[in-house]
Structure 1
Amino acid sequence: MSYYAPKGGHPSQTQLLTDRAVFTDAYAVIPRGTMRDIVTSCLPFWEGTRLWVLSRPLSGFAETFSQYIMEVAPGGGSDRPELDDGAEGVLFVVEGELTVAISGKKHVMRPGGFGFIPPASRWSARNEGLETVRFHWIRKAYEFVDGLDAPEAFFVNEAAIEPSPMPGTEGRWATTRFVDPADMRHDMHVTVVTFQPGAVIPFAETHVMEHGLYVLEGKAVYRLNQDWVEVEAGDYMWLRAFCPQACYAGGPGRFRYLLYKDVNRHMKLGGVRRPGA
């Protein structure tokens, strides 16, 4: 498997300013070239760590989740990584080795490693290796439902999961699912979507799920609302609910991305409600 990870740095003074970055009220494209040293952040109680914030809840932007690319030096990490007891999380390693301790067990995550962290968990994340580790951290306020327990923590690697082909595509378009779609305890899915060269999303998907897409490998042309944009490994896309989307993976290699979407919950209703109504 191939996983793109940003390294930071800065371009030279001779580089052209023109780039592919786009921010609209329906979608955003954050090219990999924008992930420079100057736009990194730090977090409380994390040592030897910096991060790029790809999305966050914001008026006119992401509503349901935040997504970081974490970069942790050898010996770095945190014993208090999450300060919000209501937040669930997904970790996905793209480079290096991350050791996560939760419920008295240690899990060593390598590239392709996926971990789910339930809300109100006590956990730690450390780089006990010799190389820098880079991983995605997707966070969401968990939506509790009376009668459903919150999911338990689990860890797996993409390499151990057989991708599920989309019907009628002969395997050209497939999804690696880390969670059973029928498990109603989960209110978000994070998957890896793979297109073989020449594969397409053959219609403009228009649906209620909000998306975050980070391109892990390859390149493609993506339809976002009324626009076609070129994307490549390391680019990030945010799509608001109901933003039309489609894709053409022109090759020469596979096109793969890490995909977030919110699922399995009633739509929140506004307005004044009478008691008992």
Structure 2
Amino acid sequence: MSTYYAPKGGLPGQDQLLTDRAIFTDAYAVIPKGTMRDITTSFLPFWEDTRLWVIARPMTGFAETFSQYIMEVAPGGGSDRPETDARAQAVLFVVEGAISLSVNGDTHVLEPGGYAYLPPNSGWTLRNTGDAPARFHWIRKAYQAVDGLDMPDVLILNEQDIAPIPMPDTDGKWATTRFVDPSDLRHDMHVTVVTFEPGGVIPFLETHVMEHGLYVLEGKAAYRLNNDWVEVEAGDFMWLRAFCPQACYAGGPGKFRYLLYKDVNRHAPLGL
């Protein structure tokens, strides 16, 4: 059974030293779990009894395609008008508690591992009908429509029901849980769960056009980002601009798992 790290807020004591692993460069950022405190939360219009940590947002000259929030919804909280941008598609991924998601006249209860893909103008609403806080990732991207391709369908899934697909020639030490068929070109973003067994590696410096958001769900690892090796653990977030070299070594003792965003399946824009 998988476990997922979720921030709880709070503040360090006044007796704590200012020592942490936060890094922001022109190629990547590391936002460690220790920065997700009460004073770094935000709020959104039309959301009740809800706060959030904004861990990625489009920035000129950095990662430009997506935003990513960690939402914390108190019992009874939620929204009947969650999205105010008609262009925005969404992926929700639940890490703690449960949410009641209504879309297209149907209501779904998403528990930890629950995944929802919501195309633009889905008219979805969300409530926490339980008795404990619910925490989930909300990844947003402006959908790039293509003439001749239909809009993607709503998807309601759970990671626990999907078998991870091992990467070739890795003896099963590196695998990806895919919620969307990679050959479905209607989709212009993929959100997956990547799992490394102890000792698993990315054995070369990946350098590619896709932007990334990587939220560590479980475990720890050494990650190579551009020219640097950084140590990351459950609750940390890595934010990579296009072409930032990256690799990974998962030393154990347990599995290393992260939620991964990337933009896919579209031409590179040529000018404004």
TM over 0.5: yes
Within-5 A mapping of 1:235-274: 235-270=236-271
Does residue 225 (structure 1) correspond to residue 237 (structure 2)? The answer is no
Is 1:125 the equivalent of 2:126?
yes
Once the two structures are superposed, residues 171-203 of structure 1 have per-residue CA deviations (whole angstroms, 9 ceiling, x without a partner) of 100000000000000000000000000100000
What's 1:54 paired with?
Answer: 55
Aligned counterpart, 1:113: 114
Deviation at 1:121?
A: 1.3
Q: 1-side partners of 2:242 and 2:42: how far apart?
A: 27
Deviates more, 1:12-21 or 1:219-228: 12-21
Cα distance in structure 2, aligned partners of 1:62 and 1:12: 33
Instruction: Say yes or no: does 1:188 pair with 2:183.
Output: no
Provide the C-alpha distance between the structure 1 equivalents of 2:97 and 2:123, rounded to a whole number of angstroms: 23
Q: Distance in 2 between matches of 1:78 and 1:268?
A: 34
CA distance in 2, matches of 1:239, 1:228: 14
AA in 2 matched with 1:202: P
Structure-2 separation of matches of 1:65 and 1:267: 15
Deviation of the 1:152 alpha carbon: 1.1
CA contact under 8 A between 1:46 and 1:78: conserved in structure 2? yes
Per the normalisation by structure 1, the TM-score is 0.97
2:34 is the counterpart of 1:33 = yes
**Gap regions ≥5 residues in structure 2:** none
1:182 maps to amino acid: S
Match of 2:141 in 1: 140
Partner-residue secondary structure (3-state), 2:63:
coil
What corresponds to 1:161 in structure 2?
162
Q: TM-score, normalised by structure 2?
A: 0.99
* Aligned residues: CA RMSD: 0.7
Q: Which amino acid in structure 2 is aligned with residue 147 of structure 1?
A: G
- Tell me if structure 1 keeps the 8 A contact 2:207–2:243: yes
Aligned amino acid, residue 46 of structure 1? W
1:87-146 CA distance string (max 9 Å, x none): 000000000000100000001000000000100111101000111000000000000000
2:26 & 2:165 partners in 1: Cα distance?
Answer: 32
Q: Deviations over 1:40-62 (max 9, x none)?
A: 00000000100000000112332
8 Å contact 1:213–1:238 — kept in the other structure? yes
Partner amino acid, structure 2, of 1:231:
V
- The SS at the match of 1:41 is coil
Letter in 1 for 2:261: Y
Please give the alpha-carbon distance, in whole angstroms, between the structure 2 residues aligned to 1:269 and 1:158.
36
Give me the whole-angstrom Cα distance separating, in 2, the residues matched to 1:213 and 1:77.
25
Return the alpha-carbon distance in structure 2 between the equivalents of residues 152 and 3 of structure 1. Answer: 27
8 Å CA contact 2:5, 2:95 repeated in 1: yes
Matched with 1:275 is none
State the distance in 2 between where 1:65 and 1:248 align: 26
User: Are residues 1:24 and 2:25 paired?
Assistant: yes
Q: 2:63 touches 2:242 (CA, 8 Å); kept in 1?
A: no
| Count of residues in correspondence between the two structures | 271
Deviations 1:212-270 (A, max 9, x none): 00000000000000100000000000011000000000000000000000000011112
Q: In 2, distance between residues paired with 1:249 and 1:190?
A: 21
- Return the alpha-carbon distance in structure 2 between the equivalents of residues 267 and 97 of structure 1: 37
Q: Distance in 2 between matches of 1:197 and 1:175?
A: 15
What is the SS of the residue equivalent to 2:62? coil
CA distance in 1, matches of 2:202, 2:152: 31
What amino acid is aligned across from residue 81 of structure 1 in structure 2? P
AA paired with 1:205? Answer: E
Contact 1:85–1:121, Cα closer than 8 Å, also in 2 = no
